[in-house]
Structure 1
């Protein structure tokens, strides 16, 4: 039986084991492009493992309900590194450092006014640096929405006032 994409999988481990079926889900990739697995559990039968995957995927949030921008950034960056060049990754790291005042706030309680005040405090940065920080926020919110950490994508990037070009 084939499982849906991004659902996880159940594999049978070799040897004489008490619970030979390993339910796992790929959560990212390391620098060598090898998958990083999250273990859901070990089970007596394949059907038990699939049921555990169904229960796991039914949850709204994968890791925790109080996920912060900092945690989200650490989850997002390994998946995005493969899609962009090294200079873009350096730009994201710099932009992340500019967002220090808001990275500890959980996404559920992060308000537009918090983000705008963070950008207002960036008085020593030029328009391009603020734009890169806004782009990073948009990418993080898109990631959070597609991975169901938030119910709706707030699209704060369109509303932020980052100054004139």
Structure 2
């Protein structure tokens, strides 16, 4: 054999030339690296080649699209087509498509009342349901928001829009958050009113006479939101207190003592309930807070001659009564579920006894 450089005669199989020192084995050509975002090709143990393109990242995990080929060259040649397919697919995702994908992931992280707010807000975006999300701009969102009354509804719509844009950006579907430019107007400060002592007494006097007056009284003496009260199961009842709540980490699974004015009422409801729910509906199912409000709550107040304050006023009444009790503010916050507080498993007997002592002072 001859040296590949100086042509000196060498023994067969020589690794280097003893004259010029050059290595006789030709270096293999390095495969040209592809640019970022263009995809990659690799070989499987079965000998096939895979063309792979990264879609993005969701919850820290890489999302990808792949296709297998028998030849490496075919996989390499298909990469641009695979990337084009993905870009086309993402550009066609509609507002509704994205909302459904978002809800599938996000609904596990929040309470039912929050999900209900999202669903209600989504309903007002009907004009842009089938628009490609990448084509939606602030003016489209603003038009939907301007067409609905009520500042709270508009705020919920903006909140949902912001979450959808954040989700889309996390998955590389868009580059800009147009929801941040939505204007919902000045926030209207609503004056919350509490039921008076006289009105509470009227409710007490009508227990057993006016249907669901006992539910209203229990809302007042527990501070539960309606959806929280109606979610209580018999397994949440522990004679002197409930374990329930929702909405925030502090609100979920909190200890809520049962004051004396409703102790017998609650015990009676537990015994008479024909379902797993304590405050069941006429059909012996979980009560819908919307149905309760529209069909029974205001009707009962009207029958008793009491002001038609909204259901949230029951919770506000509870907070007002707590203000008049001499107890640590932290304990009161625990009762309302407002403070970032440890979950049920971390309540001590001292905590529970302290909260029950406060509730005993509610008359």
TM-score band, normalised by shorter chain: 0.5 to 0.7
Q: Distance in 1 between matches of 2:158 and 2:103?
A: 16
Query: Which secondary structure state, in structure 2, belongs to the residue aligned with residue 136 of structure 1?
Result: helix
Quick check: 1:157 aligned with 2:183?
no
Aligned residue runs from structure 1 range 1-165, under 5 A: 40-41=66-67, 61=87, 63-123=89-149, 126-154=150-178, 156-165=179-188
* 1:72-120 Cα distance to aligned partner (Å, 9 max, x none): 0011111101111111111111111111112221123212212111111
- TM-score, structure 1 length as denominator? 0.61
Which structure has greater strand proportion?
1
Structure with larger Rg: 2
Query: How far 1:63 moved relative to its partner?
Result: 4.1
Structure 1 stretches of 4+ with a deviation exceeding 6 A read 55-60
CA contact (8 A) 2:142 2:182 kept: no
Q: Note the aligned Cα RMSD (angstroms).
A: 4.2
Question: Judging changes above 3 Å, is the alpha-carbon distance between structure 1 residues 89 and 130 closer, same or farther for their aligned structure 2 residues?
Answer: same
- TM-score, structure 2 length as denominator? 0.31
Question: Judging changes above 3 Å, is the alpha-carbon distance between structure 1 residues 142 and 86 closer, same or farther for their aligned structure 2 residues?
Answer: same
Query: Which secondary structure state, in structure 1, belongs to the residue aligned with residue 144 of structure 2?
Result: helix
* 1:53-74 Cα distance to aligned partner (Å, 9 max, x none): xx97898759431211111001
CA contact (8 A) 1:92 1:132 kept: yes
In structure 1, the gaps of 5 or more residues are 1-11, 26-36
CA contact (8 A) 2:162 2:177 kept: no
Q: Distance in 1 between matches of 2:172 and 2:88?
A: 8
The aligned residue for residue 357 of structure 2 is: none
CA contact (8 A) 2:134 2:174 kept: yes
Query: Which secondary structure state, in structure 1, belongs to the residue aligned with residue 91 of structure 2?
Result: coil
> Using CA pairs below 8 Å that are at least 6 residues apart, which structure has the higher relative contact order?
1
Question: Judging changes above 3 Å, is the alpha-carbon distance between structure 1 residues 56 and 74 closer, same or farther for their aligned structure 2 residues?
Answer: farther
Q: Distance in 1 between matches of 2:82 and 2:106?
A: 24
